[in-house]
């Protein structure tokens, strides 16, 4: 099989914000929450033979409809980076359309193998009980590892690709979603490896992932090593510089921290996603910027910092060969 990664969305949680005058909220084009598809095609006939979706927030189903021809539509795996609604909200739409698709094709609907960590499983069982039992065949990581741990690879059951979850700190999701009281690390990044390429999906993540900059244990050092030298680093970049609003950590990376993480991870291409800029505040860098503006400002800052590789903002439907 040949593999590629396709971008389904790169928006922050609220996409266009109701009542906001900024240029980002006033644009016309299709927007969707941050999500990607890993697509395997048959080497002989080029047909889509495998599809693994990472996160299913708002607008993602529309992106899938736009990218896949109806005959190529399928879903073999669903991975959840964490439980936040902007990564789960279209679960019902996705599951129900897949069930209808099976019915229209006169085939049996097979529940979708779905990987997630404990906290995410708790959230889905509580808030998406119908979808959990009707649409998914869950694979729960069954651990409460702190950030910087390599988890068991997702049991994809196919050759030529390996997906390894690595735990990350994402402040606003690192809590038991049943009680919102006790700490429960719930977020994962993913390291995708094929015979020739490595891609990292590092969303959503915050500025407390010290293990990336200064690993303290062998396990953290191994996790960082696994992420070094990727062909593509897709990374959370919610803000230009502000990472605290009214005394609270936003739970996301600013471009400032993206630069720090990239300086030790040495990716060939850095691709910023989950952008908002609203947190930076009106009149400041990042606020209301279009994706083009984000890209040109990021490029300038990348060069002036002497960072290696390129930095870009991907587009919905853009393909990255793996
Ligand atoms: Zn998010
Ligand atoms: Zn806005
Ligand atoms: Zn999140």
Residue written as token pair 């990239």? 262
Which domain range does residue 28 map to? 2-321
Residues near 46 by Cβ (< 8 Å), separated by ≥ 6? none
pLDDT in tens, 130-186: 999 999 999 999 999 999 999 999 999 999 999 999 999 999 999 999 999 999 999
How many domains would you assign to the chain? Answer: 1
What is the pTM assigned to this prediction?
A: 0.97
Looking at residue 283, its pLDDT comes to: 94
Closest ligand relative to 238 C-alpha: 1
Residues of the chain with pLDDT under 70: none
Residues near 70 by Cβ (< 8 Å), separated by ≥ 6? none
How far is CA 175 from each of CA 31, 115, 120, 171, 248, rounded to the nearest angstrom?
A: 28, 19, 10, 8, 15
Residue written as token pair 């080497």? 43
Closest ligand relative to 18 C-alpha: 2
Looking at residue 51, its pLDDT comes to: 98
Looking at residue 22, its pLDDT comes to: 95
Closest ligand relative to 25 C-alpha: 2
Ligand 1 centroid vs 12 CA: distance in angstroms? 6
Looking at residue 115, its pLDDT comes to: 98
Looking at residue 25, its pLDDT comes to: 95
Rg value, the chain, Cα:
19
Closest ligand relative to 205 C-alpha: 3
Q: What's the CATH code of the domain at 235? A: 3.60.15.10
Closest ligand relative to 23 C-alpha: 2
Ligand 1 centroid vs 204 CA: distance in angstroms? 6
Which residues lie near ion ligand 2 (Cβ < 5 Å)? 17, 20, 22, 25
Looking at residue 285, its pLDDT comes to: 96
Q: Say how far apart CA 134 and CA 85 lie, in whole Å.
A: 19
Residue 129 backbone class (left: φ over 0; alpha: ψ -120 to 50; beta: rest): alpha
Looking at residue 26, its pLDDT comes to: 94
């Amino acid at each position: 099989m040949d593999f590629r990664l396709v971008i389904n969305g790169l928006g922050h949680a609220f996409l266009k914000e109701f009542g906001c005058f900024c240029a980002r909220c006033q644009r016309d084009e299709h927007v969707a929450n941050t999500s990607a598809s890993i697509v395997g095609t048959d080497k002989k006939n080029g047909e889509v033979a495998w599809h693994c979706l990472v996160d299913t927030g708002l607008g993602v189903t529309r992106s899938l409809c736009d990218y896949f021809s109806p005959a190529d539509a399928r879903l073999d795996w669903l991975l959840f980076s964490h439980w936040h609604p902007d990564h789960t909200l279209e679960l019902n739409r996705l599951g129900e359309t897949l069930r209808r698709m099976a019915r229209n094709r006169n085939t049996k609907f097979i529940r979708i193998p779905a990987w997630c960590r404990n906290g995410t499983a708790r959230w889905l069982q509580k808030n998406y009980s119908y979808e959990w039992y009707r649409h998914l065949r869950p694979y729960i990581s069954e651990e409460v590892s702190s950030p910087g741990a390599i988890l068991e690879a997702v049991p994809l059951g196919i050759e030529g690709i390996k997906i390894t979850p690595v735990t990350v700190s994402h402040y606003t999701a690192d809590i038991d979603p049943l009680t919102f009281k006790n700490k429960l690390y719930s977020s994962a990044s993913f390291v995708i490896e094929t015979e020739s390429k490595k891609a990292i999906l590092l969303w959503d993540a915050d500025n407390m992932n010290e293990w990336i900059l200064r690993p303290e244990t062998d396990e953290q050092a191994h996790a960082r090593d696994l992420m070094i030298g990727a062909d593509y680093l897709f990374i959370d970049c919610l803000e230009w510089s502000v990472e605290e609003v009214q005394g609270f950590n936003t739970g996301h990376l600013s471009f400032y921290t993206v630069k720090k993480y990239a300086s030790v991870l040495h990716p060939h291409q850095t691709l910023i996603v989950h952008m908002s800029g609203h947190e930076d505040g009106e009149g400041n860098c990042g606020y209301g910027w279009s994706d083009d503006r984000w890209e040109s400002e990021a490029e300038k800052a990348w060069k002036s910092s002497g960072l290696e590789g390129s930095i870009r903002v991907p587009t919905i439907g853009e393909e990255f060969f793996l």
